[in-house]
């Protein structure tokens, strides 16, 4: 026999789930993925990961939801600066809607860097820190290795050529310290990032910028010191932070992760709607750029995705062919790679615009070198102030290891048919005629790159050359120089796309190519089939960069060297 009390409780719980106040949660311990992967295996593996689109859409939806009373976020050091700025904007929108926003952390950088996570936390109404934690507000630094001395001792001779003096990848292998241009570029980069972080913290905490710089120079600060300086609002453990929220909004208030909230409340918007529905297409370009299909990376930790020209090209063609698509947002988060693959993607952007589909680029943490190449033809380029972009230049070369092989007793024989058959072999130097070919290639790529920048950005070739020469810029500096149009994130890019496409402000966004799991698994019928855009497993994953440095096939001449995610 059914207990009537049990039935009543079940009904009450169901009612509470529909009517009780909501406190949204976000845990940044494992970071945020830019987008759901294209291939089915990765999509399954990442189902439990929080995606940026889920967070942004959820917080936007929460602004007008009367049930949502607050947002509480555990802040850690696993997001880059541009992504932190994107999250800060979304949190500010929630604050403007009258919702309480709370950031808490066990520590902002225990024995490590805490500047960016603390900067993110200051975008909230309240900031709480565990009493044993600290605020690792220590500023921005850039450390760059130079291997020339070590390579010389090892018997390896680097042979690189570049266009031009600010293209610093070759310096990593050919110099023992900074060149004047390299140091100038890097110094301005950290200065720009430091200015953004200082100004953001000062405005949020109601402190003069000079005071923030003074505290930064004293950092890291102990919890009590941070509280006394006004950098945090209280020292509290997790249970005390959550207990305070329940005390303010009632014990019946329910906790809900932002991603779960968005998926549950956004389900109706994802169901097929009767009649015609015009949309904004959303295309992702993540990771190093290469020919062929995109890859999701390998099984190693931090194995990131790769942007394949075939995959991205098929996505653009799919969006262009769909007459429901009125505009396209192209999210680019890439340090570059293959010049040819970058050019193939650039062409698809051009063709989409010719077909009457406005293209808006939204830059992530990094969109430089080839990442800028694929962006430059867009109607509008949107970047965060902390985005790393530019690096309009090119570098080609190899490491010659003959002396190293000789030292370790390895002999090498070779036969060839053709004067340049061993041109890119690591066991011979470039001949004069081979250097001529290298320089001809560099000149052609650089000339093509800069001429397309001039055309896409409506700048003179002379002005582009001043801004190019391989120099890296922050999004803020790039905006001042005309390489970027607007400062903002995905939400701003979508807003611009809807306006340019003549769509309503709430017009839906669809990921392209839009394919079911079964479609992703089946072989494509042609290069214009949606299944042709599926990503593939990439066996080397993050070892690709190491393989390139060991003389294996490199990512390409339009590559930004090193790691450029500012944390």
- Token pair for 411: 């002999």
Side-chain half-sphere exposure of 481, counting CA atoms within 13 A: 20
367 plus 245 within the same structural domain: no
- Token pair for 264: 């549950």
**Strand 289-290 to strand 558-559: parallel, antiparallel, or no bridges (unpaired)?**
unpaired
Q: Return the pLDDT at 172.
A: 86
User: Is this prediction's pTM over 0.85?
Assistant: yes
544 plus 518 within the same structural domain: yes
Side-chain half-sphere exposure of 429, counting CA atoms within 13 A: 7
227 plus 130 within the same structural domain: yes
Q: In terms of residue numbers, what domain contains 34?
A: 12-138+219-265
Q: Return the pLDDT at 522.
A: 66
Do residues 558 and 373 touch, judged by C-beta distance below 8 A? yes
Residue 502: inside a domain, yes or no? yes
Number of domains in the chain: 2
Stretches in the chain below the pLDDT threshold 50: 7-8, 10-11, 298-302, 537-554
Q: Quickly list DSSP for 392-424.
A: --EEEEEEE-HHHHHHTT-------SSTTTTTT
111 plus 254 within the same structural domain: yes
Q: Which of 49, 460, 28, 101 is closest to 248 using CA atoms?
A: 101
230 plus 299 within the same structural domain: no
Residue 206: inside a domain, yes or no? no
Q: Return the pLDDT at 148.
A: 86
Residues 6+ positions from 40 with CB-CB distance below 8 Å:
517, 520, 521, 534
Residue 118 belongs to a domain with what CATH number?
Answer: 3.90.226.10
**Strand 126-129 to strand 234-235: parallel, antiparallel, or no bridges (unpaired)?**
parallel
Which of 233, 265, 297 is where one domain is finished? 265
Do residues 280 and 327 touch, judged by C-beta distance below 8 A? yes
Return d(Cα 130, Cα 241) in angstroms, integer: 10
512 plus 466 within the same structural domain: yes
Q: What dihedral angle (degrees, nearest 10) is formed by the CA atoms of 48, 50, 56, 61?
A: 30
Residue 214: inside a domain, yes or no? no
- What spatial distance separates the first Cα and last Cα of the chain, rounded to whole Å? 60
230 plus 251 within the same structural domain: yes
Return d(Cα 373, Cα 345) in angstroms, integer: 9
Is the peptide bond between 164 and the residue preceding it cis, with omega within 30 degrees of 0? yes
Which of 204, 234, 265 is where one domain is finished? 265
Q: Return the pLDDT at 416.
A: 83
Q: For 440-464, b where at least 16 C-beta lie within 10 A, e where not — what string? A: eebeebbeebbebbbebbebeeeeb
Q: Return the pLDDT at 328.
A: 97
Residue 404: inside a domain, yes or no? no
Residue 565: inside a domain, yes or no? no
- Token pair for 156: 């390896």
Residue 317: inside a domain, yes or no? yes
Handedness of CA 345, 346, 348, 352 (dihedral sign): positive
Return d(Cα 422, Cα 415) in angstroms, integer: 9
Q: Which of 233, 260, 241, 236 is closest to 22 using CA atoms?
A: 260
**Percent of residues in the chain assigned helix, strand, coil, to nearest 5:** 45, 20, 40
Residue 421: inside a domain, yes or no? no
Q: Return the pLDDT at 405.
A: 80
Q: Return the pLDDT at 274.
A: 54
Q: Return the pLDDT at 22.
A: 96
Q: Which of 141, 447, 470 is closest to 336 using CA atoms?
A: 470
The helix/strand/coil state of 156 is coil
- Token pair for 155: 């018997």
Return d(Cα 255, Cα 249) in angstroms, integer: 11
Which of 265, 295, 329 is where one domain is finished? 265
- Token pair for 67: 């049930």
Q: Return the pLDDT at 10.
A: 47
239 plus 380 within the same structural domain: no
348 plus 466 within the same structural domain: yes
Q: Return the pLDDT at 349.
A: 97
377 plus 519 within the same structural domain: yes
349 plus 474 within the same structural domain: yes
283 plus 223 within the same structural domain: no
Do residues 79 and 29 touch, judged by C-beta distance below 8 A? no
Do residues 73 and 25 touch, judged by C-beta distance below 8 A? yes
Q: Return the pLDDT at 263.
A: 85
Residue 156: inside a domain, yes or no? no
Fill in the DSSP letter of residue 485.
Answer: S
């Amino acid at each position: 026999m059914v207990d009537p009390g049990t039935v009543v409780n079940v009904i009450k719980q169901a009612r509470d789930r529909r009517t009780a106040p909501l406190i949204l949660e976000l845990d940044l311990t494992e970071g945020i993925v830019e987008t759901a992967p294209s291939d089915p295996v990765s999509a399954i593996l990442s189902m439990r990961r929080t995606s940026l689109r889920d967070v942004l859409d959820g917080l936007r939806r929460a602004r007008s939801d009367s049930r949502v009373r607050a947002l509480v976020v555990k802040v850690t050091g696993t997001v880059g600066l541009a992504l932190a700025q994107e999250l800060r904007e979304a949190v500010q929108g929630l604050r403007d809607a009258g919702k309480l926003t709370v950031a808490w952390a066990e520590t902002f950088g225990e024995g490590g860097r805490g500047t960016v996570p603390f900067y993110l936390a200051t975008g909230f109404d309240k900031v709480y820190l565990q009493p044993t934690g600290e605020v690792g507000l220590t500023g921005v630094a850039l450390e760059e290795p130079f291997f020339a001395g070590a390579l010389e001792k090892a018997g390896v001779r680097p042979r690189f050529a570049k266009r031009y003096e600010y293209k610093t990848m070759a310096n990593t292998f050919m110099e023992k310290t900074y060149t004047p241009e390299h140091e100038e570029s890097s110094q301005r980069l950290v200065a720009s990032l430091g200015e953004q972080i200082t100004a953001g913290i000062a405005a949020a905490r109601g402190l003069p910028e000079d005071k923030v710089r003074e505290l930064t120079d004293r950092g890291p600060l102990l919890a009590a010191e941070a509280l006394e300086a006004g950098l945090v609002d209280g020292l509290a453990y997790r249970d005390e932070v959550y207990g305070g929220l329940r005390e303010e909004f009632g014990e019946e208030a329910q906790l809900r992760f932002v991603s779960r909230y968005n998926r549950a409340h956004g389900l109706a918007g994802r169901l097929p709607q009767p009649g015609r529905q015009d949309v904004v297409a959303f295309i992702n370009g993540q990771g190093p750029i290469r020919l062929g299909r995109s890859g999701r990376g390998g099984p190693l930790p931090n194995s990131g995705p790769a942007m394949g020209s075939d995959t991205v090209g098929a996505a653009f063609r799919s969006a262009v062919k769909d007459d429901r698509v009125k505009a396209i947002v192209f999210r680019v988060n890439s340090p570059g790679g293959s010049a040819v693959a970058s050019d193939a993607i650039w062409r698809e952007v051009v063709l989409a615009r010719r077909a009457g589909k406005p293209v808006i680029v939204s830059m992530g943490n990094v969109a430089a070198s080839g990442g800028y190449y694929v962006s430059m033809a867009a109607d509008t380029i949107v970047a965060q102030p902390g985005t790393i972009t530019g690096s309009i230049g090119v570098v080609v070369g190899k490491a010659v290891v003959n002396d190293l092989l000789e030292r370790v007793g390895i002999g090498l024989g070779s036969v060839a048919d053709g004067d340049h058959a061993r041109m890119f072999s690591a066991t011979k130097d470039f001949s004069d005629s081979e250097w001529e070919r290298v320089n001809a290639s560099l000149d052609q790529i650089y000339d093509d790159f800069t001429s397309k920048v001039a055309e896409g950005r409506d700048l003179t070739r002379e002005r582009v050359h001043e801004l190019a020469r391989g120099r890296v810029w922050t999004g803020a500096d790039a905006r001042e120089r005309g390489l970027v149009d607007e400062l903002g994130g995905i939400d701003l890019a979508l807003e611009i796309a809807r306006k340019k496409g003549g769509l309503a402000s709430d017009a839906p966004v669809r990921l392209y190519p839009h394919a079911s799991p079964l479609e992703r698994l089946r072989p494509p019928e042609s290069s214009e089939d949606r299944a042709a855009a599926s990503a593939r497993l990439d066996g080397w994953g993050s070892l690709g960069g190491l393989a390139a440095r060991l003389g294996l096939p490199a990512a390409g001449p339009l590559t930004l060297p090193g790691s450029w995610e500012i944390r």
